[in-house]
A = this chain, B = another copy of it.
């Protein structure tokens, strides 16, 4: 990797971290360059605009999460575990996530909305593939797979993204997932064990 590319990667990581912790709108270009220890001109040498920086940051996140999802996909895990594994992989990576649930704060609404949109686009095909696999194995039974998968993503996001969910939320998640995909009751029981 060349020098310029390293600088840009570093910038992206710094921008990401600031956007998450302060919100995109509350992070100024000055904040980013100060944190990165570079000059204004260097920032604009690498990015067209602040908005384009956001797009690149989001692209980087999506790539990471899609990569993690693809690893789960190609693992030898049972289909239900793959489903849950992919959903679980869709959280910003640990070290870079300053505060749990930061993305859900109102000042991150814009970023969150953009990420969610692109995440759905990216992950629905992957998850659909796993569901097909489950149907082939006789574990699931349903039609309109992409639509159902999208609903599954939305529900998961609602329940787990903020990091504040109850045991009752988990019960509903298990029930709804089984019914959404046409699985036998109990298929998703293993989820309970994953959480505490």
Contact = CB atoms under 8 A, between A and B. Distances in A.
Contacts of A114: 106, 109
Interface string A52-77: 00000000000000000000000000
Given A109-B109, A112-B113, A150-B158, A180 B171 contact: no
Tell me how many chains of this kind the complex includes.
Answer: 4
A176 B151 contact: yes
A10 interface: no
Interface string A3-31: 00000000000000000000001000000
Contact of A106 (B110, B154, B159, B169): B110
Contacts of A158: 150-151, 154
Contact of A171 (B144, B168, B179): B144
Contacts of A166: 147
A172 interface: yes
A88 interface: no
A148 B172 CA distance: 7
A191 interface: no
A175 B113 CA distance: 27
A139 interface: no
A155 interface: yes
A172 B150 CA distance: 10
B147 A169 contact: yes
A161 to B, nearest CB: 11
A179 B25 CA distance: 41
Nearest to A151: B155
7 contacts: A106-B110, A144-B172, A147-B171, A148-B172, A151-B155, A151-B172, A176-B176
Given A25-B25, A109-B112, A147-B172, 9 more contacts: A106-B110, A106-B113, A106-B114, A107-B110, A109-B109, A147-B169, A148-B172, A151-B158, A151-B172
